[in-house]
Amino acid sequence: EPTAVPAFTVTFRAGEDILSETSVLMGEHPTLPTYESSEFVIVGWETAVGETVSPAQTAVTADSEYRAILRPALRSDVRFVYADKCGLFRPENQWSRADAARALYALMPETPEERLELPDVATDAVYPYDQSNSYEYLNHTYGCYATRL
């Protein structure tokens, strides 16, 4: 008479919510649940003790619980790279810290309400105007020979 293969309960959670709870035969691999959220995306999984794992590649040998590692979902419906003052996109130019901040701000699902103070930037500092981004400088230096957005 064949020996019955034991089955174990595999639970997937996102925060306190149970995404799925299924029975999986010993030695088999669980199927990852779907997760629908406009605010967060799953970037990985961890065990109840915080060990990062890949459940779909882990054979089940006991009752298991996996917790989703969630990160904020970035918006995909917005423009986050802008043309310069000449109306051109110049991929060969370096990005400033302000360019990166503007892009990240545009991609955030919600705009923060509080003001962030950066420890390495004085709140009363005056920064010189960067002439290299002015229309006259760009037009004189480059003409307008580049890809327009």
Instruction: Say if CB 45 and CB 55 are below 8 A apart.
Output: yes
Round to the nearest angstrom and report the end-to-end CA distance of the chain.
Answer: 72
**What is the pLDDT averaged over residues 129-135?**
50
Predicted confidence at residue 141, as pLDDT, reads 55
Q: What is the pLDDT of residue 139?
A: 53
pLDDT the model gives residue 147: 38
Asked if residue 130 has pLDDT above 70, the reply is no
What pLDDT is attached to residue 149?
A: 38
Residue 20, pLDDT > 50, answer yes
Reported confidence tier of residue 137, pLDDT bands at 50, 70, 90:
low
6-15, 61-70, 132-141: which range is least confident on average?
Answer: 132-141
More confident residue, 17 or 89: 17
16-25, 114-123, 131-140: range with highest mean pLDDT = 16-25
More confident residue, 69 or 108: 69
Mean pLDDT, rounded, of the chain: 78
Q: What is the mean pLDDT of residues 25-34?
A: 94
Distances (CA, A) of 20 to 16, 37, 47, 77, 103: 12, 15, 15, 30, 35
Residue type at 84?
D
Q: What are phi and psi of 61, to 5 degrees?
A: -130, -5
